A and B are shown apart, each in its own frame.
Chain A
């Protein structure tokens, strides 16, 4: 997928808001791309445009040569169905259908007959370890199981790209980890691109590339630090609050975090800290 100079503006005149500003990127097959950034940075808007759910105000998106950003609404379902797979933070499974039916439905949308759709669905779900849960309704599935069903659903029509919006946000740490590795293996073993939007620092571990989106634009990741108190990423150059402690420089997102750190620095420095590494925070 080739993205050129993509912009999205909402509203007009004095109330105009630019959510995405001239973003360009390529996504190669088999690549895991992680897009991070603070809330309101335009990550979600960017994802929506990449996934053909939102039309850009400017710029183009090309998929395998075809310009999809200018396709009419009538042609988009085909693209969404066959080229893309979507995974959501809230799983978004259809509540009235079983796990198997949820996946089979999407398979049948692409024209497969019911029997074939069911079989394909069953195959995928079994691969993901859900063969005991095929006939369970979503309300009876755990978070991790639901996300796996969602992944099966996203894969059933053999998409080129998987888009994931905060896929681990509603999962506990261990399960989240598993899901992440699952996404990576899908990319590497099946040659699909995986684009993930997330706050979760741990996903950096499995990503090939990490892009930092702030105020609608990509910023250089290299010069990012992590606030040891709240875990947020902070730009070193811009950081207004910094503190040196025992030979290390720490960057903070706000004065409050700095003061908290200064009060009991041992709390936050237990274990080796290096800028850029993820760090697990005390349980909230």
Chain B
């Protein structure tokens, strides 16, 4: 009966394509949206993850970087530097602004770096240098490409002109990118004097970062200190929390679609084989035998659909970043688990549906037309 199921499944190419295609699409809906959200999370936290800072110190109560602002007086930097276990403190300036490159205006996070910064620098430098120095700017290579500018060209930031001295990689996410200028220029153009945004702390070799972070909070007033992992997690959480409802709705829709397509295909497949199933019944097959055949057919379709959906999503994950510079997909195990469970439910439901059809099938149907 299993062989019958597989043969029946592959005999009808069109129906196979439709059912496998339908399941694949439904699962892709779920996988790709999950993938986009996950990618955004990673990109949003990328700067922090690559910052080389063990501890991030911000204004009291500020636990995020994106969609937040933090202001610390430069005195705090000194105070933090004095805490035991702290090896170096790199103060950076930060705000959201527009980078005007050619005709393109991009919202960017502008980072003001001090000279010889020990942390917080661009982590992938694809051209030029990673240290902006006064007058210079390091911008994201994707943005540069999209606006048709390169090293030596001029961009406008914070209302002033800068020369592009370096191109960075990994510094773009769906909505914005990161651009680096010297903190000197930054302060001149924007900051209140003696104000910094974040302090990037590196600890001594043997010192545990979370312990030092707590020490900093105890000893220095008006600051919040988080380890790099903690801070990164907070950033990802923003993206996750913001997108939960959306993802839930889309997942539900994808799920319903997959269910509907599988149900429909199995129904029509069973329907069209009515005559043959009738013959089998006349020859002595029990309902149970037919359920097995239909069930295996359903399961096989779903498995193929799952494989196809996964393959296509992975393909998308490879292609999309090449076409759209500020979008990507990340397929995670959790996503796969979700999708595998959904597939299982598709298969089970689809296998159960035709039970009524088969039970009600009269073997006398072999004499139809007589």
Does A pair with B?
yes
- Chain-A contact segment, one of B32-40, B89-97, B168-176, B282-290: B282-290
Does B14 sit within 8 A of A, measured CB to CB? no
Complex Cα–Cα for A67 and B4 (A): 33
Complex Cα–Cα for A228 and B120 (A): 107
Residues of chain A contacted by B4 (CB below 8 angstroms) = 94, 96-97, 101, 105
- Chain-B contact segment, one of A82-90, A212-220, A243-251, A268-276: A82-90
Given contacts A95-B276, A101-B3, contact A81 B364 (CB under 8 A): no
For window 70-122 of A, CB contacts with B under 8 Å fall at 77-82, 84, 86, 88, 92, 94-97, 101, 105-106, 108-110
Number of CB contacts from chain A to chain B under 8 A: 68
Does A51 sit within 8 A of B, measured CB to CB? yes
Residue among A44, A82, A94 making CB contact with B276, cutoff 8 Å: A94
Q: Contact between A77 and B11 (Cβ–Cβ < 8 Å)?
A: no
Residues of chain B contacted by A77 (CB below 8 angstroms) = 281, 284-286
Residue of A nearest to B3 (CB): A101
Q: Contact between A109 and B289 (Cβ–Cβ < 8 Å)?
A: yes
Q: Which secondary structure characterizes the binding site on chain B?
A: helix
Residues of chain A contacted by B3 (CB below 8 angstroms) = 97, 101, 105
Residue among B1, B11, B275, B282 making CB contact with A105, cutoff 8 Å: B1
Complex Cα–Cα for A94 and B8 (A): 9
Interface size on A, residues (CB 8 A): 28
Does A171 sit within 8 A of B, measured CB to CB? no
Complex Cα–Cα for A22 and B264 (A): 46
Does B211 sit within 8 A of A, measured CB to CB? no
Q: Contact between A78 and B284 (Cβ–Cβ < 8 Å)?
A: yes
Q: Contact between A92 and B284 (Cβ–Cβ < 8 Å)?
A: no
Residues of chain A contacted by B279 (CB below 8 angstroms) = 88, 92, 94
Does A165 sit within 8 A of B, measured CB to CB? yes
Q: Contact between A96 and B11 (Cβ–Cβ < 8 Å)?
A: yes
Complex Cα–Cα for A188 and B8 (A): 37
Residues of chain A contacted by B289 (CB below 8 angstroms) = 109
> How far apart are A190's CB and chain B's nearest CB, in angstroms?
19
Does A168 sit within 8 A of B, measured CB to CB? no
Report A46-88 CB contacts with B as 1/0, cut-off 8 Å: 0010010110000000000000000000000111111010101
Q: B residues engaging A (CB < 8 A)?
A: 1, 3-4, 7-8, 10-11, 275-276, 279-286, 289, 363-364, 366-367, 370
28 inter-chain pairs at a CB distance below 8 angstroms, sorted by A residue, are: A48-B364, A48-B367, A53-B367, A79-B284, A80-B281, A81-B283, A81-B285, A82-B284, A84-B284, A86-B282, A86-B283, A86-B366, A88-B279, A88-B366, A92-B366, A94-B276, A94-B279, A96-B4, A96-B7, A97-B4, A97-B7, A101-B3, A105-B4, A106-B284, A109-B1, A109-B285, A153-B283, A157-B284
Known: A44-B367, A95-B11, A96-B4. 19 other contacts (CB 8 A): A53-B363, A53-B366, A77-B281, A78-B284, A80-B283, A81-B283, A81-B284, A88-B366, A94-B276, A96-B8, A96-B10, A96-B11, A97-B4, A101-B4, A101-B7, A105-B1, A105-B3, A106-B283, A109-B285
